[in-house]
Chains A and B, each alone.
Chain A
Amino acid sequence: MSALAQVGYVARRSVLRTARQPANIIFPFVFPTALLAVTSAGLSPATKIPGFPTDSFLAFFLAFPFIQGALFATMNAGTDLARDIQSGFLNRLALTPLHGGALIVGQLGGIAVLAFVQNCYYLAVGLIVGVRLESGIVGAIVLLILATGVAIAFGALGAFFALRTGSGEAVQGLFPLLFVGLFLSSMNLPRNLIETDWFRIVATFNPISYLIEGLRSLIIAGWDWEALGLAFGFAAVLAGASMVLASWALRLRLTRT
């Protein structure tokens, strides 16, 4: 069987097992949208702060669900892989000719499919409630590509943790950490409008800020090449580093004894 076919089988399994668990489907759709509704309504007066880049907080905050959805992808990828390890499925796979790389790429392929569907949903919700993308239709396509890339990057991180720890609980424990990273970013206000010095510094060093700002730039600014470059760059670095680490962890996990 070719490597591509192996990737396809693993990706198909990844999509199907997620689709068969309603909680894994419902939460990534409902929770980010609920937070979008509540926060954008609650913080809409923030657009009156001098220097705020748009008069719609909903448009400003629309980048948030894409990133939160990506965090859910991390959990799904990691937890599913950890379950495979705990149930012994990975050991049985090791007895087959399946290539290790195909396992990781296939798993991430499944995450990419689900993330793409999620991202289309978030974008549709935004458009339905009146957000108009300054970057137009092409911007919408770039937004979906970037958001799906971010989900793949986080998914690879989840896969690494799963392979390293072999525990679904350990992967779940990663979620609060990533959630803290999301909240300590520029998700609620642009960095130049964050008044508290230490928070602004943390947000500036936090890569999640740049992922959010790249997505946001397509919605409220149009084509901001610097923001887009940083977002694609950080997503690529995170994806690359996580995949290298995941491959290394998989090799350790599959070492024949």
Chain B
Amino acid sequence: MSRQFWSVALAVAWRVLHNVFTTPSLFLPGLVFPLFFFTAFAGGLSRVDNIPGFDFPNGYTAFQFVFVLLQSAAFGGVFTGFGVARDFEYGFARRLMLAAPKRSGIVAGYALAATGRWAVTAVVLTAVALAVGMNVGGGGVDLVALYTLALIVNLTGAFWATGVAMRLRTMQAGPVMQLPIFLVLFFAPVYVPLSLLSGWLHAVASVNPATAMLEAGRSLIAGSPEHVSLAFGLAVGMAALLTVWALRGLRSAERAGA
């Protein structure tokens, strides 16, 4: 990658992160909502691990932690998409396009910012989970794999939302960015393992790529990795496809003269 690409990417990332970390109304929702979901699910539903057939060995807190970690990663990316849309609405993106010598660096910058923003959320979420007694069975390699998987999910979310924002170029595109991610995540085995689901949700969850990632993540935190290659394959494949989606969104914005 050229020096120009990185200078644009780093400048865009720095600007977004500076805006996010100095504006509580932008930073707090991304931080508070995962904590809140973790509290509500892990705290309020802990009795669910008494259901016959619920065989996750590390307890319900760890079971839910993996879901909330992946959810925070995906939505960390989506929240960055809101910023992209805001930049288009306020005309900043137009000036950015004119100034950037390598425009693909703009997409990379937003993605880097999404990762930086989510990293803070992940640290706080992990600290809270450990503080409330989460039982971690996995070793160092398992945990690195878990967080790497979440990082790829974060980039996937960021590329999806950036692609939408660059095509629609309005804050009103928020639901279009959020809803598909929300549905993909909640049509997975969120509350109980796949084997305990039945009916239409079992059928949908069985073919949902988020299920593979969730189950792999849970197996990693339990220290007994399963289907990890499948999960990484799906995550990397989706991230690659959505990188193309975001770059084509950039071209769409260029054609529109945004």
* A interface residues, Cβ below 8 angstroms from B: 34, 38-39, 41-46, 48-50, 173, 176, 180, 183-184, 188-189, 193-196, 198-199, 203
Contact = CB atoms under 8 A, between A and B. Distances in A.
A171 to B, nearest CB: 14
Interface string B186-207: 1101111000111111000000
Given A176-B29, A176-B32, A183-B40, A41 B201 contact: yes
B244 interface: no
Nearest to A202: B43
Contact of B47 (A39, A176, A193): A193
A88 B156 CA distance: 44
B51 A195 contact: no
A46 B51 contact: yes
Contact of A38 (B43, B51, B186): B186
Contact of A48 (B37, B45, B52, B189): B52
B56 interface: no
B196 A45 contact: yes
A43 B191 contact: yes
Contacts of A176: 29, 32-33
B36 interface: yes
B58 interface: no
A195 B47 contact: yes
Give the one of B32, B50, B191, B192 with max A CB within 10 A: B191
A188 B196 contact: no
Nearest to B205: A42
B44 interface: yes
Interface residues of B, number: 32
A41 B199 contact: yes
A45 B44 contact: no
Contacts of A50: 50
B46 interface: yes
Contacts of A46: 45, 47-48, 51, 191-192
Contacts of B183: 34
Which of B32, B37, B48, B52: most chain A CB closer than 10 A? B48
A166 to B, nearest CB: 18
Interface in B1-51: 25, 29, 32-33, 36-37, 39-40, 43-48, 50-51
A203 B192 CA distance: 22
Given A45-B48, A183-B40, 11 more contacts: A38-B201, A41-B199, A42-B201, A44-B199, A45-B197, A46-B192, A49-B48, A183-B36, A195-B47, A198-B43, A199-B44
A204 to B, nearest CB: 12
Of B37, B52, B186, most buried by chain A (CB within 10 Å of CB) is B186
Given A49-B51, A176-B32, A180-B36, A42 B186 contact: yes
A196 B32 contact: no
A53 to B, nearest CB: 13
A45 B205 CA distance: 15
B44 A196 contact: yes
A43 B40 CA distance: 14
Contact of B46 (A38, A45, A180, A195): A195
A39 B41 CA distance: 12
A176 B29 CA distance: 9
A180 B39 CA distance: 10
Contacts of B198: 44-45
Nearest to B49: A195
B43 A199 contact: yes
A41 B36 contact: no
Given A42-B191, A176-B32, A194 B197 contact: no
A38 B40 contact: no
B28 to A, nearest CB: 9
Given A41-B197, A176-B32, A183-B36, A203 B190 contact: no
Nearest to A186: B44
B257 to A, nearest CB: 28
A42 B190 contact: yes
Given A42-B190, A42-B201, A45-B196, A196 B43 contact: yes
B200 to A, nearest CB: 7
B36 A42 contact: no
Nearest to A180: B36
A194 B44 contact: yes
Contacts of B29: 176
Interface in B162-198: 183, 186-187, 189-192, 196-198
